[in-house]
Amino acid sequence: MSTKEQISALLLKSQSVLILPHIREDGDAAGSSLALALLLKACGKEAIVLYSEPLVPTLQFLPGGMVYTEGMELPAYDLCVAVDCAAPDRIGSRLPLFENAPHSAVIDHHGTNPGYGDVCWVEGSSAATGLMIYDLYIAMNIAISPASADALYTAIFTDTGGFRFSSTDARVLRTAASLLDAGAHHTKIYTEVYERVSPQGYLLTARAMSKTKMYFGGSVAIICLTQEDFIAAGEKTENTDNISSLPRTIDGVELSVLLRESKNGEIHASIRTKARINAAAIALSFGGGGHERAAGFTVKEPMDTVEEKLLAAIEACMH
């Protein structure tokens, strides 16, 4: 694994940088990537953030970035940076852009990151990749503009669940305070991210809650959302971030899983845990990864099979 110094040296010697946040961009992936692009521009570099798909409505207030389409024309770049991508598959169909770049780098905060790219800077102890980008600004002595502050605040605010997850430490709050000093619009960001839902998303949440199944004496909650549920609710996007943490709030539940069927038939699992059970360990056994309290994996198997295997894996963890 590499260091912050190695990353800043590589950034400084590059002229044109392509930045790739992870697929199904969340606030940390998008905010960290945009803030990195602004840092590079402040250093006189060219930088483009290339999304795998359009940002979800709750993040569309973030300015900048382009959406990748296969075969699109891109300006030449000498460095490609994967941001918040725990493993190469999180780069999705843009992976060739990363693999064929003259130089490649990774900036990530997932402890399960195996290390890939020429330079790979991973801090498993950071609550968000946004904190690492903030540290880069400080280390490289670049002033944080209000736009950078908004991007970084969004990254940190969303990855800590609005400063509620156990990952919220003094560093998170100190950094957030500095970002307010730098002009972050925290009320606007909170309202955009957490105080809005589409009527379809609202219906999908209702369906998800009514489909919650309890196991192991009420200590495990599992929701299976199929394509049928998305169609019935009229929800076109597959954004279920607001649903995955809900069952964990039920009294007695120590572990919850949202199994979501995507249009291509893959099953995506979002695992959330309270104390005792390590979500990342379970996700790893299915080829995924993540953090102790929040992890996930993707497999191409029938929903019932995934649920069965998952219950067996959870049972093994509980003993």
Q: Binding residues for Mn ion, per CB under 5 A? A: 28, 84, 129, 159
Nearer residue to Mn ion within complex by CB, 48 or 122: 122
Nearer residue to Mn ion within complex by CB, 84 or 229: 84
- Say how far residue 291 (Cα) sits from the centre of its chain: 11
Could you tell me the smallest distance in angstroms from the CB atom of residue 84 to Mn ion? 4
CA dihedral sign, ordered 159, 165, 169, 172: positive
Could you tell me the smallest distance in angstroms from the CB atom of residue 63 to Mn ion? 20
Nearer residue to Mn ion within complex by CB, 113 or 129: 129
Could you tell me the smallest distance in angstroms from the CB atom of residue 34 to Mn ion? 14
Q: Which long-range contacts (CB under 8 A, 24 or more apart) does 262-269 make?
A: 262/227, 262/238, 263/227, 263/238, 265/300, 266/298, 266/299, 266/300, 267/298, 267/299, 267/300, 267/301, 267/302, 267/303, 267/306, 268/296, 268/297, 268/298, 269/296, 269/297, 269/298, 269/299, 269/306, 269/310
Could you tell me the smallest distance in angstroms from the CB atom of residue 130 to Mn ion? 8
Nearer residue to Mn ion within complex by CB, 255 or 294: 294
Could you tell me the smallest distance in angstroms from the CB atom of residue 109 to Mn ion? 6
Could you tell me the smallest distance in angstroms from the CB atom of residue 175 to Mn ion? 14
User: Residue 113: phi, psi to the nearest 5?
Assistant: -55, 125
- C-alpha span between 292 and 275 (Å, rounded): 9
Nearer residue to Mn ion within complex by CB, 90 or 207: 90
Nearer residue to Mn ion within complex by CB, 84 or 150: 84
Which candidate, 148, 157, 186, places its Cα nearest to that of 34? 148
CA dihedral sign, ordered 2, 154, 253, 235: negative
Which are the contacts of 191, defined by CB distance < 8 A and separation ≥ 6? none
Which are the contacts of 17, defined by CB distance < 8 A and separation ≥ 6? 11, 37, 40, 45, 46, 47, 48, 77, 78, 79, 80, 81
Q: Which two tokens stand for residue 210?
A: 């009514």
Nearer residue to Mn ion within complex by CB, 28 or 307: 28
Nearer residue to Mn ion within complex by CB, 283 or 306: 283
The residue number whose beta carbon is nearest to Mn ion equals 28
Could you tell me the smallest distance in angstroms from the CB atom of residue 235 to Mn ion? 24
Could you tell me the smallest distance in angstroms from the CB atom of residue 6 to Mn ion? 21
